Amino acid sequence: MGFTGNIKWTAGPTWSATLRYGLAVASVAAALGLASALMHFHAPQTFGVFALCAIAVTFWYSGAKPGILAALLSSVVRDLLFDPRTSTESRLLFDLVFLVFALLMMQAVRGRNQLELKVAERTAELTRLNDDLKREIAEHNRVEADLRLSQAYLAEAQRLSHTGSWAWSPPPGDIRYWSEECYRVQGFDPKEGHPRFESLIQRMHPDDQARVVEVIERAVRKKEDFKFDYRIIHPDGEIRFAQSLGHPVLGPSGDLVEYVGTIIDVTERRQAEEERERLREAQADLAHASRMTTMGELTASLAHEVNQPITAAVNGASTCVRWLTRDEPDLAEAREAAAGAIRNAKRAADIINRIRSILKKGESKRQLADVNELIREMIALLRSETNRYSISVRAELDANLPKIMADPVQVQQVVMNLIMNSIDAMKEIDQTRELAIRSRLAEDRHLIISISDTGEGLPQQQKDKIFDAFFTTKPHGIGMGLRISRSIVESHGGRLWAAENSPHGASFFFTLPIPVETQDNAAEKRSDAHTNV
């Protein structure tokens, strides 16, 4: 708040005019009274002194105009009541004294007013500065409180995530900052202060020390980020896994000032990854066992499938020999027959390879796969089985289906399981036995494949259980086929579900995601097809 022009003093401008001029009259009257009293007691006449006092008091407290009135009154009173017989020169002299005194008082009062003005201004300034300072202090306190809170949150976040933060001068420098979590991760006691760089290295597993030092030294030389994994041996002998990240801080001239970074305890994460890996292996083993079991059940059918091309190859070879053993060998015919034999023999080999790949045990290998081709291969492989039960097979496969990232063996296992289930559902029925396999593009960046039959349909009241492990309606079934199929589809990012057909039978649907770049190609193909039409 600044100075507004109001002088705040003991009395004065806030007085009314009556009071101010009244003081002039009263002070002169008081001077008169005092002088009269002294005259009565035959004391030296001092009205002039008292008058000067009255004038001074009036100027000081009432201002210039009342002060001038007091001076005039004093002059009049002195002339009339004290020494009325003095000469004109004497009167003028006293008047001059009063005038000069009045002028001096005016200056004095003006000076006093200016001084008071300055004092008020300075006071207002100081008050304002004081208020500003109080606000700054309050703000500082608030910021400090926020900072403490933020530090507390950060410390808690570090503790929860097992992440510590640090800063050290370029090695072999000192550690400048070492958060609480760093002590915990590295197994040091905070009471002992920042550990030395050498101590950190010594705390590492002996097999990791040289590598870590080399990584750090290389990063420092090149002023680059670094990242490394290592093992820590805690004082109690426990081995923990950690990961450290570092980033260089450079000065204005490009010189290395310090490194800042983090240490993360990744022991639990590593254990979870190992557990996931063990689970994946167990699932792969189970899927393999399931494939082995199913293929074992299909031995007769598979043998028939292989036998057909072998028979054709033998026929071809026999024909070739016949053409060559004629009285006049027909080389062209013999050549043609031999070529046919080779083709059929290779076909037999392909079928065997396909069977071998299905039976192969190994980790899942994702690659770009043509799902339609996988479906066709499985239909061919199971043709003998469908023929055996007089099941007609209809394949309606979208020719524009893009390739997807998938494990071909696992996808064929799903198709095989679903086809076998359909065959089992139709074995005993009297009506038409039809198996329809369809593939198409769905709207949501997925392929959708359906396998539909005209069989017994889904088990009543147990439709929700068919994907449960060990659920089966077959007398000799294990009940893992659908469970494994669903696991395979879901591991590819898809879904597997079933629905009743009308009037009878069931359909199984599964989706598989399309990679983004393949979606663009599929969209182009559909666009071209639309344009060409």
Partner 1 sequence: MTCQKEGKLVAIVDDDDSVRGTLQELLRSAGFSSRTFESAEDFLGSGHQQSAACLITDIRMPGMSGLELQARLNAEHCRIPTIFITAHGDEEMRFQALRGGAVEFLPKPFDDEVLVESVRAALER
Question: Which residues, at least 6 apart from 279, have a Cβ–Cβ distance to it below 8 Å?
Answer: none
| Helices vs strands, H then E, count in the chain | 15, 12
* Rounded least distance, CB 324 to partner 1, Å: 10
Nearest distance in Å: CB 387, partner 1: 5
In the bound state with partner 1, the residue whose beta carbon lies nearer, of 210 and 300, is 300
Nearest C-alpha neighbor of 111 from the set 10, 17, 7: 7
Instruction: Convert 294-312 to b/e letters by CB count within 10 Å (16 or more is b).
Output: bbeebeebbeebbeebbeb
Whichever of 314 and 469 has its CB closer to partner 1, that residue is 314
| Site for partner 1, rule CB under 8 A | 300, 303-304, 307-316, 318-319, 322-323, 333, 336-337, 340-341, 344, 347, 384, 386-388, 390-392
Give min distance, CB of 420 to partner 1, in A. 17
Q: In whole angstroms, how close is the CB of 378 to partner 1 at the nearest point? A: 17
- Minimum Å distance from CB 376 to partner 1? 15
Backbone angles phi, psi at 211, to 5 degrees: -65, -45
* Residue 285 CB, nearest approach to partner 1 (Å): 33
- Type of residue numbered 328: E
Nearer to partner 1, 199 or 307 (CB): 307
Cβ-based nearer residue to partner 1, 82 or 323: 323
| Minimum CB distance to partner 1 smaller for 185 or for 391 | 391
Q: Which of 315/473 has CB closer to partner 1?
A: 315
Backbone angles phi, psi at 304, to 5 degrees: -65, -45
In sequence order, the β-bridge partners of residue 405 are 368
Tokens representing 445 are 């960046």
Q: Which residue, 311 or 462, is less far from partner 1 as judged by CB?
A: 311
Are 100 and 71 in contact, with CB atoms under 8 Å apart?
no
In angstroms, what is the minimal distance from the CB of 380 to partner 1? Answer: 11
Smallest gap from Cβ 312 to partner 1, in A, equals 4
Sequence-ordered list of residues with C-beta below 8 angstroms from that of 241, at least 6 positions apart, any chain: 229, 230, 231, 232, 265, 266, 267, 270
Tokens read off for 499: 């629905």
Tokens standing for residue 2: 């600044």
Nearest CB to partner 1, comparing residues 336 and 456: 336
CB nearer to partner 1: pick between 22 and 340: 340
Instruction: For the CB of residue 434, give the shortest distance to partner 1 in the complex, in Å.
Output: 11
Alpha-carbon distance 300 to 304, whole Å?
6
The CB-of-346 to partner 1 minimum distance in angstroms stands at: 11
Taking alpha carbons only, the member of 89, 88, 59, 90 closest to residue 73 is 59
What is the DSSP-derived secondary structure letter of residue 360? -
Tell me how far the alpha carbon of residue 9 is from its chain's centroid. 65
Residue/partner pairs of 166-172 with CB below 8 Å, 24 or more apart: 166/260, 166/261, 166/262, 166/263, 167/258, 167/259, 167/260, 167/261, 168/197, 168/258, 168/259, 169/257, 169/258, 169/259, 170/220, 170/256, 170/258, 170/259, 171/197, 171/216, 171/217, 171/220, 172/197, 172/198
CB atoms within 10 A of CB 168: 20
Which residue's CB is nearer to partner 1, number 55 or number 435? 435
HSE value, Cβ hemisphere, 13 Å, CA-based, for 47: 22
3-state SS string for 404-449: EEECHHHHHHHHHHHHHHHHHHHCCCCCCCEEEEEEEECCCCEEEE
Q: How far is the CB of 446 from partner 1 (least distance, A)?
A: 32
Q: Compute the least distance from the CB of residue 293 to partner 1, in Å.
A: 22
CA atoms within 13 A on the CB side of 174: 4
Q: Which is nearer to partner 1, 279 or 300 (CB)?
A: 300
Q: Is 244 left (phi over 0), alpha (psi -120 to 50) or beta?
A: beta
Alpha helices in 247-330 (DSSP H): 267-297, 299-324
Closer to partner 1 at the Cβ: 355 or 405? 355
- Report the nearest approach of partner 1 to the CB of residue 381 (Å): 14
Looking at the Cβ atoms of 161 and 307, the one nearer to partner 1 is: 307
